[in-house]
Amino acid sequence: MSESKYLSRKWLLCAYIAIAGTVMRYFDLLDQTGLLSAWGLSASGYGLANVAQKQFEKTPTNETA
Protein backbone atom coordinates (compact mmCIF):
# COMPACT_ATOMS: atom_id res chain seq x y z
CA MET A 1 0.00 0.00 0.00
CA SER A 2 1.42 3.40 -0.95
CA GLU A 3 1.88 6.08 1.67
CA SER A 4 -0.39 9.11 1.41
CA LYS A 5 1.31 12.40 0.58
CA TYR A 6 -0.87 14.05 3.22
CA LEU A 7 1.03 12.20 5.95
CA SER A 8 4.48 13.34 4.84
CA ARG A 9 6.45 15.74 7.02
CA LYS A 10 6.79 18.33 4.26
CA TRP A 11 3.02 18.38 3.65
CA LEU A 12 2.25 18.63 7.37
CA LEU A 13 4.76 21.48 7.77
CA CYS A 14 3.22 23.31 4.82
CA ALA A 15 -0.28 22.88 6.24
CA TYR A 16 0.86 23.96 9.71
CA ILE A 17 2.42 27.19 8.40
CA ALA A 18 -0.64 28.00 6.29
CA ILE A 19 -3.08 27.31 9.14
CA ALA A 20 -0.95 29.16 11.71
CA GLY A 21 -0.81 32.20 9.41
CA THR A 22 -4.57 32.11 8.95
CA VAL A 23 -5.21 31.86 12.69
CA MET A 24 -2.77 34.69 13.39
CA ARG A 25 -4.54 36.83 10.78
CA TYR A 26 -7.92 36.03 12.34
CA PHE A 27 -6.69 37.25 15.73
CA ASP A 28 -5.16 40.33 14.06
CA LEU A 29 -1.58 39.31 14.86
CA LEU A 30 -0.64 39.51 11.16
CA ASP A 31 -1.60 42.00 8.53
CA GLN A 32 -2.66 40.91 5.04
CA THR A 33 0.91 41.11 3.74
CA GLY A 34 2.13 38.83 6.52
CA LEU A 35 -0.60 36.31 5.77
CA LEU A 36 0.26 36.25 2.08
CA SER A 37 3.94 35.88 2.98
CA ALA A 38 3.16 32.91 5.25
CA TRP A 39 1.10 31.24 2.52
CA GLY A 40 3.84 31.90 -0.03
CA LEU A 41 6.47 30.53 2.32
CA SER A 42 4.52 27.35 2.90
CA ALA A 43 3.82 26.79 -0.80
CA SER A 44 7.37 27.52 -1.94
CA GLY A 45 8.84 25.44 0.87
CA TYR A 46 6.72 22.47 -0.17
CA GLY A 47 7.73 22.90 -3.80
CA LEU A 48 11.42 23.21 -2.99
CA ALA A 49 11.25 20.14 -0.73
CA ASN A 50 9.73 18.13 -3.60
CA VAL A 51 12.46 19.23 -6.00
CA ALA A 52 15.18 18.43 -3.48
CA GLN A 53 13.68 15.01 -2.75
CA LYS A 54 13.44 14.10 -6.43
CA GLN A 55 17.00 15.32 -7.07
CA PHE A 56 18.26 13.24 -4.16
CA GLU A 57 16.44 10.16 -5.48
CA LYS A 58 18.00 10.61 -8.95
CA THR A 59 21.55 11.02 -7.66
CA PRO A 60 23.45 7.73 -7.99
CA THR A 61 25.08 6.48 -4.84
CA ASN A 62 28.83 6.00 -4.59
CA GLU A 63 29.01 2.25 -4.13
CA THR A 64 32.43 0.75 -3.66
CA ALA A 65 32.88 -2.95 -4.02
Alpha helices in the chain (DSSP H): 9-26, 32-58
- Residue pLDDT, tens place only, 4-44: 878 888 899 999 999 999 999 999 999 999 999 999 999 99
Q: What is the pTM of this model?
A: 0.74
**Strand, coil or helix: 61:** coil
**Residue type at position 26:** Y
62 pLDDT band, cuts 50/70/90, is: low
Please, which residues have CB within 8 angstroms of residue 46's CB and are 6 or more apart in sequence?
Answer: 10, 11, 13, 14
- Residues 6 or more apart whose Cβ sits within 8 Å of residue 11: 5, 46
